[in-house]
Structures are given as structure tokens and as C-alpha cells.
Amino acid sequence: MEDELELDLLIDTSTKSPYDVTDDVAGIKTLFVNVFFIGTPGPGNDWVLVDAGFLGYADAIKKRAEELFGPGTQPKAIILTHGHADHVGTLKTLLKDWDVPVYAHRLELPYLQGKSSYPPPDPAIGGGGMSYMSWVFPIGPMDFGDRVQAIADNGQIPELPDWRAIHTPGHSPGHISLFRDKDRTLIAGDAFVTTNQNALTAVATQREEFHGPPAYFTCDWEAAKRSVLKLNNLNPHVAGTGHGISVRGLELAVGLNRLAHEFEERSIPSEGRYVKQPAQTDENGVVNMPSAISFHVARTLGFGLLAGLALYAGWSIFRKVQ
């Protein structure tokens, strides 16, 4: 009994953040992308990690996990909404210590098992600093081998029985969102986001605003539109997204419904590499892509903005260690 009490005192579940979704879905921001911990806080309780965040944040993820679930904890599984570099940045490091299954949609496996790079970004769209810098973001291929396995076609994940994975492509070919029917909780990944991820100032301030997926890496806009409509039809009560703070209640209902029904006006660029023609992909990766559109202006601006991002990253890390 005394041992249990001592362990309870080591677990800090009181810290709330704007990225927490429910009492049993906690979230943290890793530089500019969110990861989530699904599980009831408490010593030794089972939990699942959703996404692996930005490179260099493995210690921050482990620290928050131990605050929630106790010293030495590890998840039952890791689920990837998709495999873009900002969502798998710490995966290799985490898997050195955690011998756990990793799940992703089967159409995402080519980019996670060394078979294909992702379709290149389109930095000429989005109209913001993050877009202009996107040409330097890595697109793979990444190779985690058989550490990553396909989610069953019915969307069921053994380690997360109350949830189902929903295929929400567009931002990436095998993008998934997670939904818990009993309380209508949604983890949307990048199917939609709650800040303007294209703009560096919005990323830095986390200004709340419903948006379609980050434009610079979205390779199929019609699919992205259908995915937002699909999620809106679920009528979620609370949602955590890959970028931006969590939203709930009427704010979520109104914001997501408006985004779904005004998606073309609010999210799809007027022109861009993948606007008129999507990248063609299959279970082996990229099959064919539309011709690149010149982005020399975006590239020039990107060089200058990289310095800004480096300063922001340094500031973020400095705040963590204070």
C-alpha cells in the first residue's frame, strides 16, 4: 500500500495543456506537431502513443509518458496517422527502448519501409513561411522495416479496442484518423488542423483557425475534401489534430462543418502542382506525379525563413529546459 502511494506521488497528472483532448487522451506539442497519449492516467496503466513527433523530442515524449503512467512506462503500441517526417521524427529513437508494435495504413507502408519517397512538397502554395520552407523538409524514403505493420482493413487495432482507424487520404495516401464512437472523440491527424500550418506566425502563436491539411504536402486535394466531409459526418464532440490546439463542443461542430462545406474556398489553392492533378500512388508508393511548378521565389524566401525557424526551435528548447 505504501509502495503504491509513493508511486502515485511520482505521477503528475494535474498538468493540463491546450493539446489534451479528454481525461484519457493527453497531448503535447513537439516544436510544431502534436502527439497523443491514449490511456487512463495512473501507475502501470496501459496506453498507446499516436504519432512520434518532431526529431529531438523523444525525451519530452518519454517524460510526459512517465508523468501520466509512471516511471519506466512504455506504450502497448504506436499508431501513426501518417509517415511525414514531422510525425515520425522520434520513432527510431523511441524504438531503441520500446519493443512495441507500430501500426500504419497499408498505403502508408511504402514510405515507412524504404520502398518510396513521398510526393515532393509544393512550396509555391499556402502563402506562408512554412510553405516556403517546405522544399527542405525530408520526404524519405524512411525504412523502419517490419517494425511497422498494416492496420487491418476493418480499422481495428488490437491494442486500442474502443477505437477505429478511418482512412482519410489526401494529405498523404495512407493517412488515417482515429475515432472512438462511445464518446465521439476524434484524433484527426492532419486531415484537418486547427491553426494555419502554412504560416510561420500562426505556427509560432498557435492562433486557432480551422484549416484543411497543410497545403505544401497535400498531394490529392479531392481526396482531402472527401476526408474532411467524412470526419464531419461523424459529428465528433471533441478533436485533437496534428497541428493546433484541441477543440470541442459547439466550436468544433461549427468550425468543422463550415470547413467541410466551404473546403474548396477555404483550403484548396487556386493553382499548384497537385491542384488539377493528384499524385498517383499505390501499395508500392508513387506511380506518377504531375510536373513541378517553378518555386524559385518560394525557395529564395525559404532560405531567409529557415533562420526564423531555427530561432523559434532554439527558443522552444530553451523554454523546455527552464
How confident is the model over 263-279, as a mean pLDDT? Answer: 93
pLDDT at 316: 53
CA 171 – CA 188 distance, rounded (Å): 12
> pLDDT tens digit string along 74-105?
999 999 999 999 999 999 999 999 999 999 99
Q: How confident is the model at residue 155 (pLDDT cuts 50, 70, 90)?
A: very high
User: Are 95 and 77 spatial neighbours (Cβ–Cβ below 8 Å)?
Assistant: no
| Element at 185 (helix H, strand E) | strand 185-187
Which of these, 279, 304, 270, lies nearest to 126 by C-alpha position?
Answer: 270
Give strand pairing partners of 185: 180, 238
How confident is the model over 286-298, as a mean pLDDT? Answer: 75
Which of these, 294, 104, 125, lies nearest to 218 by C-alpha position?
Answer: 125
> pLDDT tens digit string along 4-61?
333 333 344 455 899 999 999 999 999 999 999 999 999 999 999 999 999 999 999 9
pLDDT at 5: 34
User: Are 243 and 35 spatial neighbours (Cβ–Cβ below 8 Å)?
Assistant: no
Q: Is 300 exposed, middle or buried (0-12, 13-18, 19+ CB in 10 A)?
A: exposed
185: domain range?
2-321
CA 108 – CA 176 distance, rounded (Å): 9
**CATH number of the domain encompassing residue 97:** 3.60.15.10
pLDDT higher at 175 or 3: 175
How confident is the model over 111-137, as a mean pLDDT? Answer: 87
Say how many domains are in the chain: 1
pLDDT at 202: 72
DSSP output for 23-87: TTEEEEEETTEEEEEES--STT---EEE--BSTT-HHHHHHHHHHHH-TT---SEEE-S---HHH
pLDDT at 251: 97
Q: How confident is the model at residue 1 (pLDDT cuts 50, 70, 90)?
A: very low
Whether a cis peptide bond, with omega within 30° of 0, leads into 75 is no
pLDDT at 315: 47
pTM equals 0.88
User: Are 35 and 61 spatial neighbours (Cβ–Cβ below 8 Å)?
Assistant: yes
Which of these, 303, 276, 306, 124, lies nearest to 215 by C-alpha position?
Answer: 124
300 has a pLDDT exceeding 90 = no
pLDDT at 310: 52
User: Are 264 and 258 spatial neighbours (Cβ–Cβ below 8 Å)?
Assistant: no
Q: What is the average pLDDT value for the chain, to the nearest integer?
A: 88
CA 177 – CA 274 distance, rounded (Å): 22
Q: How confident is the model at residue 196 (pLDDT cuts 50, 70, 90)?
A: confident
Cell matching residue 158: 488490437
65 has a pLDDT exceeding 90 = yes
How confident is the model over 217-232, as a mean pLDDT? Answer: 98
pLDDT higher at 153 or 200: 153
How confident is the model over 265-271, as a mean pLDDT? Answer: 91
